[in-house]
Structure 1
Amino acid sequence: MRATFTVRLISASTTYAIRNEVLRPGRPVKECYFSGDDSPGTFHLGIFKDEKIIGVASFMKNSNPFFEPIAQFQLRGMAILPEHKGQGLGTLLLKEGESKIKQEVKEPFLWFNARVTAIDFYKKHGYESFGQKFEVPGVCEHIVMLKHLESKNK
Structure 2
Amino acid sequence: MEQTLPLRQKVLWPDLSLAQLMLPEDSNGIHLGAFIPQQREHVAVISLFIEPLPIDNKSHHCLDNVSPASNDADLQIQPGVMVRFRKFACEPDYQGYGIGTRLLRYALSIARDELHGSILWCDARVTAVDWYTRRGMSVTGRSFYKGPVEYVA
TM-score under structure 2 length normalisation: 0.78
Establish whether residue 95 from structure 1 lines up as the match of residue 82 from structure 2: no
Superposed CA RMSD in Å reads 1.5
Q: Give distance in 1, aligned partners of 2:105 and 2:132.
A: 11
Read off the aligned partner of 1:136 and give its amino acid letter.
Answer: K
Q: Deviations over 1:66-121 (max 9, x none)?
A: 26xx5111110000111111111110110000011111254521111000011011
Establish whether residue 142 from structure 1 lines up as the match of residue 151 from structure 2: yes
Answer with 114-123 or 97-106: which moved more: 97-106
Residues 1-154 of structure 1: pairs in structure 2 closer than 5 A: 12-39=1-28, 42-50=29-37, 51-52=39-40, 53-66=42-55, 71-106=81-116, 108-138=118-148, 140-144=149-153
Unaligned runs of 5+ in 2: 56-62, 64-79
Q: Give distance in 1, aligned partners of 2:12 and 2:88.
A: 9
Task: Give structure 1 regions of 4+ aligned residues with deviation exceeding 3 angstroms.
Answer: none
**CA distance 1:107–1:20, shift in 2 (3 Å):** closer
Bigger share in strand: 1
User: How many positions carry a matched residue from both structures?
Assistant: 128
Q: Which has the higher contact order (CA 8 A, sep 6+)?
A: 2
Unaligned runs of 5+ in 1: 1-11, 145-154
Read off the aligned partner of 2:34 and give its amino acid letter.
Answer: I
Q: Give distance in 1, aligned partners of 2:117 and 2:88.
A: 23
Q: Give distance in 2, aligned partners of 1:135 and 1:99.
A: 30
Q: Percent identity?
A: 29
Q: Give distance in 1, aligned partners of 2:89 and 2:117.
A: 26
Q: Give distance in 2, aligned partners of 1:129 and 1:34.
A: 24
